[in-house]
């Protein structure tokens, strides 16, 4: 599932995407490393781990579930005011998903590292007569 060949094509694409955010430092070395490269942005350093997936994820907990070991390893990287940890996943169709790994959560972010706010869904409540409050 998460073992196998290194995601060479995904890593090449990821480094290109990361280059738009700042200077990229590849981390040469063994397979078990917690991260694949660093992005050195003006005000922080981002540790990035890259994986391939057979599907896209609907919500961050799916990624956390599938890649629990890799995210746990990335979570061991020191998190300070000037560091961040991101987990990037490439689908077979070439689509990317990016996740920010915090102390207590994993949230989806954009390629530039900014937070993606969830849409607020309107709630309808039923009135005692069974009709909704919006007059229908």
- What digits encode the pLDDT tens for the residues 80-103? 999 999 999 998 888 899 999 998
Domain interval for residue 86 = 8-109
Q: Answer whether residue 65 shows pLDDT above 90.
A: no
Q: Is the pTM of this model over 0.75?
A: yes
pLDDT for the residue 2: 44
Q: Is 125 part of a structural domain of the chain?
A: no
82: domain CATH number?
Answer: 3.40.1350.10
User: What's the rounded mean pLDDT across residues 8-17?
Assistant: 92
d(CA 36, CA 23): 14
Give me the residue label for tokens 């077979």: 92
SS3 call for 101: strand
Q: Is 54 part of a structural domain of the chain?
A: yes
Domain tally for the chain? Answer: 1
d(CA 84, CA 101): 8
- What digits encode the pLDDT tens for the residues 102-115? 988 888 899 999 98
- What digits encode the pLDDT tens for the residues 52-62? 888 777 777 78
Closest to 39 measured CA to CA, from 20, 11, 62, 13: 20
- What digits encode the pLDDT tens for the residues 31-45? 678 999 999 999 999
pLDDT for the residue 29: 63
């Amino acid at each position: 599932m998460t073992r196998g060949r290194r995601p060479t094509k995904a890593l090449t694409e990821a480094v290109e995407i990361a280059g738009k955010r700042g200077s990229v430092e590849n981390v040469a070395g063994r397979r078990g490393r917690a991260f694949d490269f660093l992005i050195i942005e003006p005000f922080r350093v981002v540790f990035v781990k890259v994986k391939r997936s057979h599907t896209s994820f609907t919500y961050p907990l799916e990624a956390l579930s599938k890649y629990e070991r890799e995210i746990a390893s990335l979570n061991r990287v020191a998190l300070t005011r000037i560091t961040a940890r991101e987990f990037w996943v490439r689908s077979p169709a070439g689509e990317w998903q990016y996740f920010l790994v915090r102390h207590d959560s994993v949230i989806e972010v954009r390629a530039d590292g900014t937070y993606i706010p969830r849409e607020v869904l309107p709630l309808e409540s039923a009135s005692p007569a069974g009709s909704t409050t919006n007059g229908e």
